[in-house]
Chains A and B, each alone.
Chain A
Amino acid sequence: MIEVRNLTRRYGRTIAVDALSFDVRPGSVTGFLGPNGSGKSTTMRLILGLDRPDAGQARVGGHRYRELRWPLREVGALLDAKAHPGRTARNHLAALAAAGAIPPARVDEVLDLVGLTAAAGRRAGKFSLGMSQRLGMAAALLGDPAVLLLDEPVNGLDPEGVRWIRNLLKSLAAQGRTVFVSSHLISEMALTAERLVVIGRGRLLADTTVAELSAGSASLEDAFFRLTSEAVEYQGNEATS
């Protein structure tokens, strides 16, 4: 369970996250959608205590992240938190495991789970984007946490990897875990998520199910564009010939 209440964060004059409130419940995959610059990553960092809110708060399993007793065993996060390029995948995970008093055998288990066993001894600086994402997933799953926060997990993954993530997230949710996944790929969210939290310019636009949001529109994508049309920060134009 993730509870976000009135969460607000400004950077200078711009409001990145504006009085955001929503809950993410266990047992289903909740997609976190919004245009570029809408505040998805900031919200995730605020939930994890990496950035400080100007107002409001976020709780995970009833506690603020900084108060957790064994953070890695309670919350798994995939952020743009790369491993040090000079460190092997196995050592990166072993260091995190030590912080959570997680048995070293679990490192090999998650390496196997994400398909990196053969690359475990290679330095993370040599990894492709897809491999880095897999290593990030391994770190998130290391502590076998009940809550997962994943920021754009399918970025850089090949089609096999995208499908693997989709099935993994569904099975994690089916085990009763809370799975909160940000993405800007609406079609992917339509396949993976049951529930959706949609934000634009830091404000909550919808907190609903995929089925409800798509109802009345030709596709989830159309519904998303209708919802966010007022809140798009960066918009391209059609090419003129």
Chain B
Amino acid sequence: MTAQTRVPAGRYGLAQAARMEWIKLRSLRSTWWTLLATAAGTVAIGVAVGLNTRDGSGDVTNNALAGVVPGLLLTGVLGVLTMTGEYSSGTIRATLAAVPRRPLVLAAKAVVFGAVTLIAGEVAAFVAFFAVQATLRPGVAAPALDQPGVLRAVAVTGAGSCLIGLIGLGLGAIIRHSAAAIGVLVGGVYVVAQFVGIMAHAVATYMPILIVANSLSTTRPVTCGTDAASCPDFLSAWTGLGVLALYAAVALAVGGWLLARRDA
């Protein structure tokens, strides 16, 4: 027992909890593999869709960002596992013994995981955009960031990836079991969204995956003109981003509330 370190003044807080969560996140190889696979998939799908774009009059930016939607699944799953991995391994008890003010644990995870996935999401979206710009067929006019709505579409799509990740994190805190939480995420965000998209147009515009595909990653909101019966008018990019942020905030608030109340 050397280094009898003096107890510092004050009290542990978000800074210490966030440092702990950053070390935990970066020390798992799966974090980096998942983010790399997400980015690679986003770019590859974007390029493939770009190469198949023959009509430059459509929303080519939206095509370039087509890989983001499948990529989101991995980010969401990573968010789930960031929380449920603690329960399946038993590390949660060490974590909560170190930071007994429990909402702080989830807040720290949200800050760290949110920052990492925001950066990863933006990098993936911009790399996909530039890769598609460079690989379009001759004759298809490449979009540029200074055209109306293009920079916004790319940037907001990257942020959407982070918000889906945070929804996953919140679901992980609520459900605690990896398989069940991933099931709810995939079922809720993907399957139900697709189903609702077909069945109930009024609600479809609020489905997370459709927000990303039709509100965030478009230079102009998807509308169907007069044929409104078969296709809803989607939210504007900023409203869509706000709705996604609201979902993430609700999932995290409920998760934090349950974390503070349940036995570990």
Contact = CB atoms under 8 A, between A and B. Distances in A.
Most buried by B among A84, A101, A106: A84
22 contacts: A45-B93, A50-B93, A50-B264, A51-B263, A66-B101, A68-B100, A69-B7, A70-B12, A74-B7, A77-B97, A80-B90, A80-B93, A82-B91, A83-B91, A84-B86, A91-B27, A92-B94, A95-B24, A98-B16, A99-B19, A99-B99, A101-B12
Instruction: Give me the 9 closest cross-chain CB pairs, A-B, nearest first.
Output: A91-B27, A81-B93, A98-B19, A99-B98, A81-B94, A99-B20, A95-B23, A69-B11, A82-B90
A144 interface: yes
Interface residues of A, number: 47
Contacts of B264: 45, 50-51
Contacts of A143: 5
A76 B94 CA distance: 10
Contact of A84 (B4, B7, B11, B85): B85
Given A69-B7, A86-B30, 10 more contacts: A70-B8, A72-B97, A84-B24, A88-B27, A91-B24, A95-B24, A95-B27, A98-B20, A103-B3, A175-B1
A104 B91 CA distance: 20
Nearest to A105: B3
Nearest to B262: A52
Interface in B93-111: 93-101
Nearest to B108: A99
Contacts of A66: 100-101
A66 B103 CA distance: 12
A79 interface: yes
Interface string B10-25: 1110001101111110
B250 to A, nearest CB: 24
Contacts of A126: none
B5 A49 contact: no
Given A81-B91, A96-B94, A65 B100 contact: yes
